[in-house]
Amino acid sequence: MPHNLFRQTTIAVIWDFDKTLIPGYMETPIFRHFDVDEDRFWREVDGLPEFYRKRGLDMISRDSLYLTHMLTYVRHGLFKGLSNALLRELGAALAFHPGLPHFFDVLKNGIAQHPDYAGAEIGVEHYIVSSGLRQMILGSAIAPHVDGVWGCEFVEDIAPPGYLDLEQRRLFAAEPTPREIVAVGYVLDNTTKTRAIFEINKGTNKEPQIDVNAQIKEEDRRIPLRNMIYVADGPSDIPVFSIIKQNGGQPYAVYEPGGAEEFRQVRELQAQGRIFAFGPADYREGSHTFMLIRNGVEQVARRIIADRQRMVGEKIGTPPRHIGDVDPSEAVPAPEQLPLDDA
């Protein structure tokens, strides 16, 4: 019997970060640390497209403009000494929505401790895919509970022309240079988040020799898109919502409790058919969102078992049965209909 590259028994729960896992934006501790006006910074970022257009630029990457403006603040001394180490340190100040990070462990343990799912080697992995700052996420309280983080990165050292010849002298320099971010190293915006989804799908994060652009059959991908649950907060996540939903996965949206505008946005996403359901960003046990996402994970687990039993039947056939005997594969409960609203 031919073997597939992966068993495809892993469920990936993929999370946006800002407003999904935390209230507001993760950069707030940076502004507090340097005593910089946060509202003014974001107003400046919003004005940059027009600023650059007046100077002859026709194509501007809006999602990453805040990164270059942060570097401008570093160069002008407003964020003096901002390093990757400091970003991690400031990440520890981030406060999460109620129920987190405990809810991540609840989802994992609920599958791992269920005899049917454990027997089928089904497991849950958590991933964060954010257009925010990866180092801050890695320094936050949620980091020990996740299996991978995608986000934007800064570099602190720029390789000069001929750097290969200078490398040995740089490595053993007597006086280390002060650490400070000087350039953008990796950008993840609302569209390129889909690349991260396919890296998880194909398993490049676990098997680096697999290139994300390699042509890989669906049955040889580590985590099928139908095994994915994506949780985010709004319209900027539409590219990922679409990829997940079109391929049989489950997209969900959350909103800030009491936020009328946020509620309207996610309600509209549901009306457009972009998400399955939505709920408040409250992950405490017994909350609507707690039950919504846990039910989604369990539904995927039941479907994996049903798919596996069906595949075994197709590969080796079923033994003769007496009339009236029940086919064991039919004993697996059918996946429940997903809720289509927030009530």
Local structure of residue 193 (DSSP, 8 states) = H
Cα–Cα distances in angstroms (integers) from residue 145 to residues 142, 156, 159, 188, 267, in the given order: 6, 27, 34, 22, 30
Asked whether residue 68 is domain-assigned, the answer is yes
Q: Is the pLDDT of residue 341 over 60?
A: no
Distance CA 130, CA 279 (A): 20
Residue 313: pLDDT band (50, 70, 90) is low
Q: Is the pLDDT of residue 197 over 60?
A: yes
Q: What is the pLDDT of residues 157-179, one digit of tens each?
A: 887 777 777 666 666 555 556 78
Tokens of 297: 């994970």
Residue 284: pLDDT band (50, 70, 90) is very high
Q: What is the pLDDT of residues 101-154, one digit of tens each?
A: 999 999 999 999 999 999 999 999 999 999 999 999 999 999 999 999 999 999
Q: Which residues pair with 1 in a beta bridge?
A: none
Asked whether residue 132 is domain-assigned, the answer is yes
Asked whether residue 343 is domain-assigned, the answer is no
Dihedral sign from CA coordinates of 66, 67, 70, 71: negative
Q: 72 phi and psi, to 5 degrees?
A: -60, -40
Q: How many domains does the chain have?
A: 1
Range of the domain at 57: 10-331
Asked whether residue 2 is domain-assigned, the answer is no
Asked whether residue 174 is domain-assigned, the answer is yes
Asked whether residue 207 is domain-assigned, the answer is yes
Residue 154 exposed, middle or buried by CB count within 10 Å (0-12, 13-18, 19+) = buried
Q: Cβ(11)–Cβ(123) under 8 Å?
A: yes
Find the angle CA(123)-CA(231)-CA(211) to the nearest 5 degrees.
65
Q: Cβ(304)–Cβ(122) under 8 Å?
A: yes
Asked whether residue 336 is domain-assigned, the answer is no
Cα torsion 14, 237, 22, 39 to 10°: value is 150
Nearest to 293, CA basis, from 78, 74, 153, 108: 108
- Domain holding 233: CATH number? 3.40.50.1000
